[in-house]
Structure 1
Amino acid sequence: MTARPAAPGLAAGIVLFHPEPDALAQTLAALAPGVDALYLFLNAPADEALRACLRRPLPAPVILLNDGRNLGLGTAYNRMAAAARAAGHATLLLLDQDSAPPPGMPAHLQAMHRRLRAAGECPAVIGPHPVAAEGSATKTPRLFLRHGSAPVDGARPLEFLISSGSLLDLAAFEAIGGFRDDFFIDAVDIEWCFRAWARHFSCWMVSGLAMPHRLGQGLVRVPLIGLQLARQPCFRLYTYARNQTAMLRLEHVPLRWKLKLFPYIALQAAIHCMIRRDTAALRAFARGIADGLARRMGPVRHRFVG
């Protein structure tokens, strides 16, 4: 796939948290020819290596947002969407530093956005097919097809997409509402996509457009049942359990998702405890469930080891 000229009204936004400068430079080089502007949200202070990376000339302007405080993914996405909307952009391509978008991806997603609208759909978000980055030994994100919805012109309807690589329709975003700031990290994309479907918008993946992505810090394989889990630090196990539990109270989250939640969390807790050979993961899951039920949300206030 070759790079195409920038599509009108298309911006990209990347959330940065101590990124690898070389990997970021490759991402910026792949994106810049196909977008009108690049928003970079600093969820950690920019060191000299990052600043040197950002001084390299690019065909699209780079706009830095935030002062380096970690405000979480939900806030970062919302602020980039607001900035892009205020600047007159119609769509915003969200990315984080764990993805490697192929050249031409922005225009490809923008073209699919137009085709879906021409077909009578109301797409809120369109994304590529995320695959495990070569040599990363990380998990490929799991896909959940939307029940009762049919593919359209090479795009498949999904229950939700991972946020990285997602092309947001900013008018739809305004109608649906922003990402949950209080989720901080984990499941912000899942909850938002369920909300989009409940408000008569739709979420799509372009099957033939692969995007390498690194999920977690490695892969946990459970051979007897064929399960693969992303290896995560305990604070991420906590936010996963907390935010998924908090979604139990939300009317727009499908019942089928709620019914499988606690058995799946219990299975993950048991597997992580066996892999780690301690109870730190179990305590993280238990605290996450308790805080989710009590609606204690926001930035992580607990200290976790491992």
Structure 2
Amino acid sequence: MIGTIIVVYNPDLALTERLITRVYGQTDILVIVDNSAQKNDFTKIVEHYDYIHCPDNIGIAAAHNKGLKHLLASGCEYGLLLDQDSQIPSDMAFSLSSLLVASKSLEHNIIAIGPQIHCQFTDKKVRSLIQKEVFEYEDLVGVTQIIASGMMIDLGLLDTVGLKDDSLFIDGVDHEWCWRARRLNFSIARAKKVEMVHRLGDSRAKFIGLTYKVGSPIRLYYQFRNILLLSRRSYVPLYWKIRCICFIPIRIFLNAILQDQKRTRIRYMCRGLIDGIKGSSGPYQQNWS
């Protein structure tokens, strides 16, 4: 059996309902984990789904974990993770699961496969300039990490790697899990011929001809903090540590000078750096009540 987990938080109902409609029927079980304060009702879109409400917003990692545990308890072999703002093809679950089954004959021990991401803002395929491909085999490319949305996991191998790290709360959660899996000699892959449209960040801005992602101020806290937390871990790739740490001053400049809500952004960035240095984790409210 295959199960789908959709994590939502104050969702754009039109986008989320379109996603639910598209994924419904592709898998055997649909679990919606809702981090919104108020419940959302999707029964007008689909009749049968399992709903887990987390009104205190437990974060993306803990929400994934609740969904994964639910799929395991239901007897699912594979689990598909989706964000509320992704747009998927009508056969994505079948394509990814088929590739996972076929990969059993390979020596790469693949635990998770994701689609090729097509950025909604740039209308282009997302290509990493730094991340090198690990291997290539027919319709699969081995990579260092993939994003959570669109990730299909072989649930039979989940016990070995473990669940998502909920101490990170949100940013870096998907990559950390991939790096942890690779440390245990599992492989992460991207499907060459499966494409998914996804929103990376809330918007885009330009500075001296360069386009960069813009997110909400609170996300800056988690991004800055988690860079410092993850940089201490031995299994996190060196290129990621160097790139992210070197870009901190540039990101401070872009958010403190060029964006709106400057004081709020500065406050979140400073608090993220403080907690990253201290080694504090968990939700923001836990550390800055």
TM-score, normalisation: structure 2: 0.91
Within the candidate set 5, 11, 17, 1:13 is matched to 5
User: What's the counterpart of residue 4 of structure 1?
Assistant: none
Q: In the alignment, is the contact (CA less than 8 A) between 2:21 and 2:45 conserved in 1?
A: no
Q: In the alignment, is the contact (CA less than 8 A) between 1:144 and 1:159 conserved in 2?
A: no
User: What's the counterpart of residue 179 of structure 1?
Assistant: 164
Distance 2:276 2:82 in 1: 27
**How large is the Cα RMSD of the aligned pairs?**
2.3
User: What's the counterpart of residue 212 of structure 2?
Assistant: 229
User: What's the counterpart of residue 155 of structure 1?
Assistant: 140
Identity of aligned residues (%): 24
Task: Tell me by how many angstroms 1:294 deviates.
Answer: 0.9
Aligned pair count reads 287
Q: How does 1:202-281 map to 2 (within 5 A)?
A: 202-224=187-209, 226=210, 228-276=211-259, 278-281=262-265
Distance 1:24 1:262 in 2: 34
Q: Are 1:44 and 2:36 counterparts?
A: yes
SS at match of 2:56: coil
Q: In the alignment, is the contact (CA less than 8 A) between 1:140 and 1:213 conserved in 2?
A: no
The one-letter code of the counterpart of 2:265 is: A
Structure 1 unpaired stretches of 5+? 1-8
Distance 2:133 2:153 in 1: 23
Distance 1:141 1:182 in 2: 28
Q: In the alignment, is the contact (CA less than 8 A) between 2:116 and 2:126 conserved in 1?
A: no
Which whole-Å deviations, capped at 9, do the CAs of 1:93-147 have from their partners, x for residues lacking one?
A: 00111211111110011111122222222112111111122xx569975537764
The one-letter code of the counterpart of 2:7 is: V
Q: In the alignment, is the contact (CA less than 8 A) between 1:137 and 1:218 conserved in 2?
A: no
Task: Tell me by how many angstroms 1:43 deviates.
Answer: 0.5
Distance 1:229 1:272 in 2: 11
User: What's the counterpart of residue 88 of structure 1?
Assistant: 75
The one-letter code of the counterpart of 2:177 is: W
Task: Tell me by how many angstroms 1:272 deviates.
Answer: 2.1
Within the candidate set 74, 89, 100, 2:87 is matched to 100
User: What's the counterpart of residue 29 of structure 1?
Assistant: 21
SS at match of 2:283: coil
User: What's the counterpart of residue 190 of structure 1?
Assistant: 175
TM-score, normalisation: structure 1: 0.86
Task: Tell me by how many angstroms 1:244 deviates.
Answer: 1.3
Q: In the alignment, is the contact (CA less than 8 A) between 1:139 and 1:214 conserved in 2?
A: no
Distance 1:283 1:142 in 2: 32
Q: Are 1:169 and 2:154 counterparts?
A: yes
SS at match of 2:24: helix
Alpha-carbon spacing, 1:106–1:270, altered in 2? closer, same or farther (3 Å): same
